[in-house]
Amino acid sequence: MPTMIRRPPTIVCYICGREYGTKSISIHEPQCLKKWHNENNLLPKELRRPEPKKPEVRTITAKGFYDLDALNEAAWTSAQSQLVPCNVCGRTFLPDRLIVHQRSCKPKASK
């Protein structure tokens, strides 16, 4: 029997962009979405975002499995769209990080 090193499949959370095991993602997702709503509600109006949508990827590989790569890529893109650019330096952050960042990010030509 050939020995194959198989990495356990991981699923990217479409909300936070972190990777989870196929079992823990179903536990994590509702919690992550709840947390997302809590955080979103605390943000100033201009930083609030529309609720992230779970990407619909229906690609099935030849072996009959979901195409995890396509799914994860879509989820990652979705998580990235949650990032907000800093209006000073243009770097992107999660809104809660942006607030922290903007305390120290000052325009160069400040008064």
* Residue 32 binding Zn ion, by CB under 5 A: yes
Between CA 43 and CA 56 the distance in angstroms is 28
Question: Which of 33, 70 has the CB closer to Zn ion?
Answer: 33
Between CA 106 and CA 18 the distance in angstroms is 30
Pick out residues in 52-91 that bind Zn ion (CB under 5 A).
Answer: 86, 88-89
* Residue 98 binding Zn ion, by CB under 5 A: no
Backbone φ and ψ of 98, nearest 5°: -60, -40
The window from 32-40, 41-49, 59-67, 70-78 that contacts Zn ion (CB under 5 A) reads 32-40
